[in-house]
Structure 1
Amino acid sequence: MKKKKLSSDRIFAASVMLPAIIFLGTVFYYPFFKNIYFMFHKYNYVSKPQFVGLDNIKQLFGDASAARAFMNTFQITVISVPLVLFVSLVLAISVFNVRFGKNFLKSAFFTTYLVPSVVASVIFKLMFGTELGFVNSVLGGMGIGKIAWLSKPLLAKLCIVIVHIWNGTGYYMLIFFAGLSNVDFQLYEAARVDGAGTISQFFHVTLPQLKPTIIFSALYATISYLKTYVIVQVLTEGGPYGATETAIKLIFDQGFTSRNVGYASVLAIALFLIILGVTGIQMAASKRMSGED
């Protein structure tokens, strides 16, 4: 009886795990190892893959457009992550301290996250249009000349960051709101007894209690923004003159537009290693901040 029960338990466990294993294998692991295979081959979807050794990897180190794309990705991420987290934290604290309409405000801010990135990008592309854009119309009414928001490198990157902030703030605001709900209010009472003001309470009570939430949000936001593609494709198409082209967009262009699958695979693995390295550094830093070994 025990053997039959053990056998049936194993069959049940296997039947539960099998769909997940098949899904992960076909969607994640197979493409990953296929990418590694294509790294060392020349392939264009038509002819058979031809082994070229390290030629694709050598091309990466001499490609100025790849260096520019990775640098653009890094710059957009470095600017977007702190701003998104800062705005989200400010909104979370503000909503948390509101006495009436708290649920309505949470829902209202969260709706920006529910808007697909494509739709958000189209909206802001219309807003930042040089001739008929809403922003330039407002500036014109104030006597300020029209600004080519999407035609100048720095301004175009700024527009991408603005879309990141608008589209992501609602999500991170809810995360911070949940973190604030778990803060021990007795600490605030003790801080008030010791004569701590509002600012002192924020830096010595609120922020330390929110440290795990901030670390999680920073990790998630960093990984997300290192993979920026949709916003760039819709808003600027990588322009002007490649000033906003990101790593994912370059991978897409090489793999599907130029049909240079081998080189696109090298770029994809390089981005994967960068994300892995950045994540490792952030996790190590968070453990050090927490005083863990």
Structure 2
Amino acid sequence: MIALLVCASSISAHAALTSDNSERRIQVRQGSNVYIEPSTNNSIHSPGVTMLSGDNATNGDSMQGLIAQKQRDFNLDARLSIEENKRVNINRRPPTYGTEHNHDGHETGNNDDNDAVSVDFNVWLNNNSYRAKQVAEYQRYLSSQVGAKNVPPLSQLLTTARSWSKCGYEPYQLPPQELWANIVPTLRLYSELKQQGILPASSEIRSVYRSPGLNDCAGGADSSKHMNASAMDIWVPEYEYNPWQRSTMQDGLCQFWQYQGSGHNFGLGLYATGAIHLDTDGYRKWGFNHASSGSPCRY
């Protein structure tokens, strides 16, 4: 089977034919960015993959013609979604906390994780000018929707699954533009919880958008709300070793969920480790076993 992957060059978009033992690819590159043109066929394969079969798969003229056609059709614009899928060479350090997943893929623990690594957000951001431009547009969009003071630091808001390194991804992910609106009601909910003192000002966001590939590798559920950018996992560092404060905070979240959660379509996941999942994609609650009966909320 023949897969065709379209990518781009910084000077001028050009196509190149490569091959290995199992497939041939068309690549178009621009700098270090990889752009994937959505496939227009009905193949069961991934978007951006065009399949050839029979004589077309081995006919050099057909292949070269397809390269030329892809080069003519390829359009470099902001509508294309980019999924970062490359390893980052960094210096490892002892982790401050790790990840434990339940079957839904929520990051529920603070146990040691030898795969945890430290990557400076500004280094990641400025390593790619196109990425920096898109992130700036994302920040402007969120500011226009919720107000600049209610936009969390981008170094938190773009964090993804903490198993990113072992899965071969980068530590931060920008959601595709068509998903940007999904995080807006969740940001409003997060801001309201902090304004009411239910969540302390020191609360930190530690996982938001996960691309489908990373979500699958990290053990997330097929229907994980992280994939549509409507969910966030948070924690409160100073409560990590203070069960009383953590329990008091959870009680406040449960009361808010009971009396005001329906209007926010509030999905609340609370875990014994202190991890908190928030989304605005369904009024429900759960605990570590992802069952309503396992939630600390007893209302």
Q: Same fold (TM over 0.5)?
A: no
TM-score by length of 1: 0.21
Q: Which has the higher helix share?
A: 1
TM-score scaled by length of structure 2 = 0.21
